[in-house]
Amino acid sequence: MDLDRLAHADVRAWRAPLALAAVLVLVQWFGTVAGPALRYDRAAIVTGGEWHRLLTGHLIHHDAPHLAWNLAGLALVAWLFVREYTTRQWLVILIASTAVVDLGFLVFEPQLAWYVGFSGVLHGLAAAGLACWWLRHRDSMTLIASAVFALKLGWEHSFGAVPFTAETLSIPVVHAAHTYGAVGGALAGAWLCRARRRPAPSL
């Protein structure tokens, strides 16, 4: 197992996840009262044209424990994968994961009236990291992390939220968001990682 890539000596690589965490905290802090106006709301989007909700719905959380779980997840994803992509590439993955979650909701989840939280996009970031590990490393750490990730998604589809998270959350877990995010992140990550590996064209 290659533990070297978990020792992130480059502090600069952490600027992007720290900035993202700060955005989530600030949106929660200032957006508590405006939460209903920021969350993903199917009716408001489809009939009211409030397209901003496709973005802000992923940034606002139901309450502090909900936010705390996603911040912890973001820290774990950053610790594992932050060096696999540049800041610009992570932004592409962030956008792709958000877009696929939103598309999945609008097309395949018509019964979903509203949604809040970063977990769908977070699963996209994790899937992108794993996709690059498969392309670049393929060691025992890659296998173990991928198995845990797949088992989590499989558990959620079969049995609902994993027990230790369900007990601390006051809203249901929308596991479909995790799956859509993972698909978007994996596709974007694989494309970016492959593009980076291609040799430069000869002149």
What pLDDT shows up at residue 202? 38
Q: CA-CA distance, 196 to 190, in Å (whole number)?
A: 10
- DSSP lists the bridge partners of residue 61 as none
User: Which mean pLDDT values do the consecutive 10-residue runs of the chain (203 residues) have?
Assistant: 54 89 95 86 97 97 95 96 94 98 98 97 98 92 96 92 79 95 98 72 39
pTM: predicted TM-score of the whole model, two decimal places? 0.91
- CATH classification for the domain delimited by 4-197, as one of 3.30.530.20, 3.20.20.80, 1.20.1540.10, 3.30.1320.10: 1.20.1540.10
Q: In this predicted structure, what is the pLDDT of residue 167? A: 73
